[in-house]
Amino acid sequence: MELHAGPRFNVIDYGAMGNGETDDSQLKGTIIAPKNIKGWKLGKGTRKAWIRFKRINGLVIRGGGQIDGQGAPWWNAYFNSEINRPTALHFGECNNLFLSGLTHINSPKNHISINRCNGSFISKLHFIAPDESPNTDGIDISYSSNILIKNSKMETGDDCIAINHGSTFISIIGVYCGPGHGISIGSLGKNGAHHTVEEIYVRNCTFNRTTNGARIKTWIGGKGYARKITFKDIILVEAKNPVIIDQQYNPYDSAEAVRVSDVSYDNVRGTSSSPHAIKLHCDKNLGCTNIVLKGINITTIAGKKTYASCKNNSKTFLRRMNRKKLPSTNEPEETSFDKRSEV
């Protein structure tokens, strides 16, 4: 399928049924969702997705087209009461997916979901939604592996990218995020679930005035693990919570938790909107292990020092680089830190 920039069309005006059963997917130009909730004819059952691709191997979608979810009525309904809102574009069990060059605006909920896909190349996407729009994630990934997302711009009301249960070998390179809630691992372990995420690599990304930056979030009482995660070469522009591990995402108490380990933050630099730039708040029973921060250089907007706080960490290290004191051939100085350290 190819989508190109051009005239705007409402497919319902041209005979599309939009009932989730009739095949009427040959579309070009800008794809516009109905303006009101009643206009969405998504077939029987719950409203899960507007445009869906399932079990298509080698699917290629590219071009300069636009998908407009016209989400405002859904957001208003959500603020007034709970409502099951649809994802704009869903890929399920689509191996070797190629997706490039599209603009997605104002989805009712998350813009793109990737579920049970192996091997995806995603690039040059642009997401636009107001920063107050609820749950308008850019891309949500679950039960998927070998996914590469690169060179994209994400301006959303929630996570720019959320990496959820069952995700392995996910690479995110050259993504601009802001506004939004950053790039998140999780949330994991809700309602006591066993969730796993591993081999995640995030590099050369920018967080501009985001609510969070590089985030890992898990629920108390969950099970499983989040491990082998790297955030490298990260630029911050007035970001709130630039580096955060939150294993207290809910207020309940439990002896069980998702285990967080082998996480690296390397060359994270820029400005924080708050002096409290790094929060590593881990579960009181399991804690976090092997958390490494290297080459961290974060100041406040006013140029003042920031600080880091740690709770329930084991084998957590802050590696400081001072080229005036250390020869370039030497390894960085490594110091363990507890509770609160200046960055």
Tell me which residues are annotated as active site: 181
The structure tokens 């409502």 sit at: 83
Which token pair is 319? Answer: 């590696």
> Which pairing describes strands 340-342 and 8-9: parallel, antiparallel, or unpaired?
unpaired
Report the distance separating Cα 199 and Cα 262, nearest Å: 10
Number of other residues whose CB lies within 10 A of the CB of residue 109: 27
The residue count of the chain comes to 343
Number of other residues whose CB lies within 10 A of the CB of residue 25: 12
Instruction: Please write down the HEC assignment for all residues of 239-306.
Output: ECCCEEEECCCCCCCCCCCCEEEEEEEEEEEEEECCCEEEEEECCCCCCEEEEEEECCEEEECCCCEC
Q: In this structure, which amino acid lies at residue 90?
A: H
Which token pair is 320? Answer: 């400081």
Which token pair is 180? Answer: 């939004």
Torsion on CA atoms 52, 57, 113, 241, rounded to nearest 10: -160
Q: Are 170 and 199 in contact (CB under 8 A)?
A: yes
Indicate the burial class of 77 (C-beta count within 10 angstroms; 0-12, 13-18, 19 or more). middle
Number of other residues whose CB lies within 10 A of the CB of residue 82: 7
Which token pair is 328? Answer: 């370039």
Report the distance separating Cα 216 and Cα 212, nearest Å: 10
Q: Are 23 and 48 in contact (CB under 8 A)?
A: no
Number of other residues whose CB lies within 10 A of the CB of residue 267: 16
Report the distance separating Cα 299 and Cα 307, nearest Å: 9
Report the distance separating Cα 125 and Cα 64, nearest Å: 9
